Structure 1
Amino acid sequence: MVQINKYIIISLLIFFISCTERKQIPFSFVQLCDTQLGTGGYDHSLNSFKMAVKQINKLNHDFVVICGDLVNNPNDSSFSDFKEIMKGFKMPCYTAPGNHDVGNIPNDTSLKYYRKTIGKDYYKFKNKGYSFIVTNTQLWKVNVENESKKHDNWFKKTLKDKSVNDNPVVVIGHYPLYLETFEEKEAYYNLPLTKRKEILNLFKQYNVKAYLTGHTHETVINNYENIQLISGSATSKNFDKSPLGFRVWKVRLDTITHYFEPLQSTIIEKNDLENN
């Protein structure tokens, strides 16, 4: 009788622990794309980024991700301006590198400069029951000796890590996998077809719910076998003349949805800047 009671107690404990582990606290975060200081006029892109920070700070979000092309021309001045504005966020901000940040064909010099000036170009973090993986998609777009293989090995190892894929996973990068169709030819705005197939197979296998990118300077929304593939509008300049802005993501357990939030204004008065 005592043994039976012990068995029941242990079973109940396991059940309650399991339920507790699956409980996920709802949260929201922001996807910013292509702040790209210097595009559309330096002062314009600078002010638009400042407005985005100010607007986002008024909202109750957990964190911000910036999907690459932080600046147009990577140098001490532009990266310094970027970091100074980014410091204004009242919540954590995670950045991914874009082709303008590390070069269309990255090399040891450009990668070392980014890592020294901005920080890691690929890494992971968690938030309230979700896993986030930040990638350097330029190492997928082109084969950089040693670096691309190292990045690929890290990405696969990270996805296979049970502590990561036990949670729903969101991958963050700069380059979209494709724009219109899965089988489309490789061009400037997408990844090579072979690499595209490899990545999507990994996404399907390891609980990836969404892949967030930039690069397109317009909103591109695709869905591949229930995996959301979203390239967001820029805060610097949209090539399709659409409003500048950012995407807000709402997360509830296995449900992750998003909506567009336009910038309140892309022209900021001098007094408004001085009050930030």
Structure 2
Amino acid sequence: MAVDVTVRANNRVIDGLQKENEGDWEGGFCFIQAADTQYGMIDSYEDNGDGTRWEKERLLTREAIRGANRMIPKPKFFIVCGDLVDAMPGSPVKDEQIRNLKDDLRLLDNSIPLICVCGNHDVGNSPTQESVDRYRESFGDDFFSFWVGGVKFLVVNSQYYEDSSQVPTLKKDQDQWLDQQLESEDWKHLVVFQHIPWFLRTPDEDDEYFNINTDVRLPMLEKFHKAGVRKIFCGHYHRNAGGFYQDLELIVTSAVGCQMGDQKSGFRVVTVNEKDIQHQYYELDQIPVNIKLH
């Protein structure tokens, strides 16, 4: 049995990363945003296999972890924005993929919290109560907030915006929780993490598989912007992308695992300063050791 090194949210919060102990700004810091470790996808997508091999993803994940461990200063946390493994709920290999992922994540320096976001492969394209419950058993809550150094972070389950037909009550629970979380508080920045991007390039782009439908997208972007959110970090696309809704930046980060574009496997280093938040995607063999905090 793999040791669970992920920081699990319960009751919509992470113990130790709450406003009571992390609500004050104490200076700039960095964190790592990754996405789509997705054990098994290289086999099925690139190698024309059946998704039952994932040694390539294991090697890439371990390389990402080694890069994070070398960084100075230490990242305040390492977050993976969904599709942790490739197997869909009910697959006979899903539990083994999760065990192997957790084994590999154990290599992360234990001073760096490892936080997980759920994706469509984690709870299904059309989530059910059972699939969400199984995810929560493995990784903790699927939507929650946490604080680091005076910055408030929100993690949302984007699958409820994609297809909540089988879980309308869970969708309502997240909506009500989110409205409460977006009420004004004394935070330095307000940041959102999710799996599926609201858009890839522009807020008015056509609906497609890799974004969220316009009729949901535009009201939600306006809600986030009005509340003061200025950065939303996503995955899902297996390529880097992103754009702006007014002065709200949406950032789409390519995969640690299987690539579908011109990038190579990597993750994003995010530096949080008092006035702004900056970010840069690094391929795994280009991860810097010394991180400059402005």
Over the aligned positions, Cα root-mean-square deviation in angstroms equals 1.6
Contact 1:70 1:97 (8 Å CA) reproduced? yes
Match of 1:29 in 2: 31
In the aligned structure 1, how far is the partner of 2:230 from the partner of 2:104?
Answer: 30
Quote the offset at 1:22 in angstroms: 7.8
Q: Structure 2 counterpart of 1:37, which letter? A: Y
Question: Aligned partners of 1:54 and 1:48: how far apart in 2?
Answer: 10
- Aligned-pair CA distance for 1:241: 3.4
- Map of 1:71 onto structure 2: 85
Structure 1: where are the runs of 5+ without partners?
1-20, 266-276
1:87 to 95, 106, 109: 106
Match status 1:106 vs 2:134: no
Check the 8 A contact 1:244/1:262 in 2, yes or no.
yes
Q: Identity percentage over the alignment?
A: 29
**Structure 1 position 216, deviation (Å):** 0.3
Map of 1:176-187 to 2, 5 A cutoff? Answer: 176-187=197-208
Q: How many residues align?
A: 243
Residue 169 (structure 2) aligns with: 146
Q: How many Å apart are 1:210 and its aligned residue?
A: 0.4
Distance 1:43 1:123, change over 3 A: same
Deviation at 1:161, TM superposition (A): 5.2
TM-score by length of 2: 0.79
| 1:229 aligned to which of 250, 256, 265 | 250
1:192 to 189, 192, 213: 213
Please state how far the C-alpha of 1:196 moved relative to its aligned partner: 0.9
TM-score w.r.t. structure 1 length? 0.84
CA offsets 1:99-136 (integer angstroms, 9 cap, x no match):
00000000011001000111111111111111000110
Corresponding residue of 1:3: none
Write the distance in 2 (CA, Å) between the matches of 1:96 and 1:76: 17
1:24 to partner: Cα distance: 4.5
**Cα distance between partner residues in 2 of 1:24 and 1:195:** 37
Q: Deviations over 1:180-234 (max 9, x none)?
A: 2212222110012122112111211111120000000000021222211011010
Could you list the per-position Cα deviations for residues 46-98 of structure 1 after superposition, in whole angstroms to 9, with x for gaps in the alignment?
Answer: 11011101111111211111110000015211111112222221100111100
SS of 1:253's equivalent?
Answer: coil
Which structure has the highest helix share of the two?
Answer: 1
Is the aligned partner of 1:47 residue 2:59?
A: yes
Q: Which runs of 4+ in 1 moved over 2 A?
A: 21-24
SS in 2 for 1:185: coil
1:156 aligns with 2:179: yes
Residue number in structure 2 paired with 1:6? none
Q: Does 1:170 align with 2:172?
A: no
8 Å CA contact retained: 2:270, 2:278: yes
What runs of 5+ residues in structure 2 fail to find an aligned partner?
Answer: 1-22, 44-53, 89-93, 287-294
